[in-house]
């Protein structure tokens, strides 16, 4: 509704001066409309630029920048190695094992980048330890000397025992990890599946059919003995199944590759677990 001064008021019998004064007063007042005021809105664009909000203080000016990107529905970031270990070094285990037969030093970083540095005096075993580092993305350092003038048995066994103990150290209380790992690796005609559980209970189920007694100078019977020794000190359950394969080298190498990838799965963090122990009992231990 618009308020206005009618021209008839100016023609009334009241004095012209009073009318003129009243007209002047009303004319100086703003006109009011009984309607909703519309505020123009900026057109909505598909891609918005960043908005800058400036907050003024009495003596200074600060700028607050707000992103117009949509909220993310991504999973929370996984627990970092530094968070789990209390440092930026990752989860590391280091063991030295000395007997009358061998001297072995092992260091492993579960949160490494695949650094492989192994010298055991058994070339084929060095090659397999390189597969563990490369495909598990673990940093694996092994130095070993032993009575290989007899055979490779003692050195092969003690390297595995020390490696298992180093794994046990690096896992700590196992909070937040996936715990389980399962992977099938192929190498040409060979196909091997490894399934494992970082349960704290040692068990090996081994089913490889390696057709030759040796690969180079390496006794192929030592493959099973390596994994049995590793399982005993690390406290893990490991199932190894050969699904295909005729070449001894291919079968053994596919086994180590599958083991590396399965162990990588099991030791990595589950972001949904939020640092809790992956067990309904609330504990995973070697005992």
pLDDT in tens, 4-21: 444 444 444 444 555 555
**What's the confidence (pLDDT) of residue 27?**
52
In 3D space, the residue among 167, 191, 183 whose CA is nearest the CA of residue 259 turns out to be 183
**What's the confidence (pLDDT) of residue 64?**
34
Which of the given ranges, 20-29, 198-207, 270-279, has the highest pLDDT on average?
198-207
Model-level pTM greater than 0.75?
no
Tell me, yes or no, whether 34 lies in a domain: no
* Mean pLDDT value across residues 221-244: 98
Q: What is the mean pLDDT of the chain?
A: 80
pLDDT exceeds cutoff 60 at 172: yes
pLDDT exceeds cutoff 60 at 212: yes
Percent of the chain past pLDDT 70, that is, above it, reads: 68
Tell me, yes or no, whether 2 lies in a domain: no
Strand partners, 92: 109
Q: Which of 42-46, 149-153, 180-184 has the lowest mean pLDDT?
A: 42-46
Report how far Cα 266 is from the mean position of its chain's Cα atoms.
11
pLDDT exceeds cutoff 70 at 243: yes
Tell me, yes or no, whether 192 lies in a domain: yes
pLDDT exceeds cutoff 70 at 125: yes
CA distance 151 to 144: 14
CA distance 63 to 86: 36
Residue 206: pLDDT band (50, 70, 90) is very high
Three-state SS for 153?
Answer: helix
CA distance 64 to 47: 20
Query: How far lies 274's CA from each of 57, 173, 198, in Å?
Result: 42, 14, 18
**What's the confidence (pLDDT) of residue 170?**
96
Within 10 angstroms of residue 86's Cβ, the number of other Cβ atoms is 8
**What is the number of domains present in the chain?**
1
Q: Which of 95-104, 254-263, 268-277 has the lowest mean pLDDT?
A: 268-277
Which residue is it, tokens 């092992």?
106
On the 0-12 / 13-18 / 19+ scale of CB atoms within 10 A, 183 is: buried
Q: Which of 162-176, 185-199, 266-280 has the lowest mean pLDDT?
A: 266-280
CATH at residue 233: 3.30.230.40
**What's the confidence (pLDDT) of residue 4?**
45
Euclidean distance between the first and final Cα of the chain, in Å?
88
The whole domain housing 236 covers 92-267
* 60-78 tens-digit pLDDT: 443 333 333 334 433 334 4
Tell me, yes or no, whether 82 lies in a domain: no
Percent of the chain past pLDDT 90, that is, above it, reads: 62
170's tokens: 């690096």
């Amino acid at each position: 509704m618009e308020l206005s001064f009618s021209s008839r008021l100016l023609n009334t019998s009241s004095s012209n001066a009073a009318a003129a004064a009243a007209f002047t007063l009303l004319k100086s007042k703003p006109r009011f409309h009984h309607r909703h005021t519309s505020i123009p809105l900026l057109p909505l664009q598909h891609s918005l630029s960043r908005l800058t909000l400036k907050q003024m203080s009495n003596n200074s000016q600060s700028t607050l920048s707000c992103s117009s990107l949509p909220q993310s529905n991504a999973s929370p970031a996984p627990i970092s190695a530094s968070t789990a270990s209390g440092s930026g070094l990752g989860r590391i285990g280091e063991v030295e094992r000395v007997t009358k037969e061998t001297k072995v030093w092992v260091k492993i970083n579960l949160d490494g980048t695949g650094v492989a540095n192994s010298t055991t005096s058994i070339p084929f075993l060095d090659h397999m330890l390189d597969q563990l580092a490369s495909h598990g993305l673990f940093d694996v350092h092994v130095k070993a000397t032993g009575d290989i003038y007899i055979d490779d048995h003692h050195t092969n066994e003690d390297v595995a025992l020390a490696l298992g103990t180093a794994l046990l150290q690096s896992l700590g209380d196992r909070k937040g990890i996936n715990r389980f790992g399962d992977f099938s690796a192929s190498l040409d005609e060979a196909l091997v599946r490894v399934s494992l559980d970082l349960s704290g209970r040692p068990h090996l189920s081994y089913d490889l059919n390696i057709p030759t007694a040796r690969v180079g100078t390496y006794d192929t019977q030592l493959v099973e003995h390596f994994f049995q020794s590793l399982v005993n000190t690390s406290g893990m359950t490991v199932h190894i199944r050969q699904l295909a394969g005729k070449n001894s080298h291919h079968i053994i190498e596919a086994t180590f590759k599958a083991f590396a990838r399965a162990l990588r799965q099991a030791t990595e963090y589950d972001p949904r677990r939020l640092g809790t122990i992956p067990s309904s009992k609330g504990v995973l231990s070697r005992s």
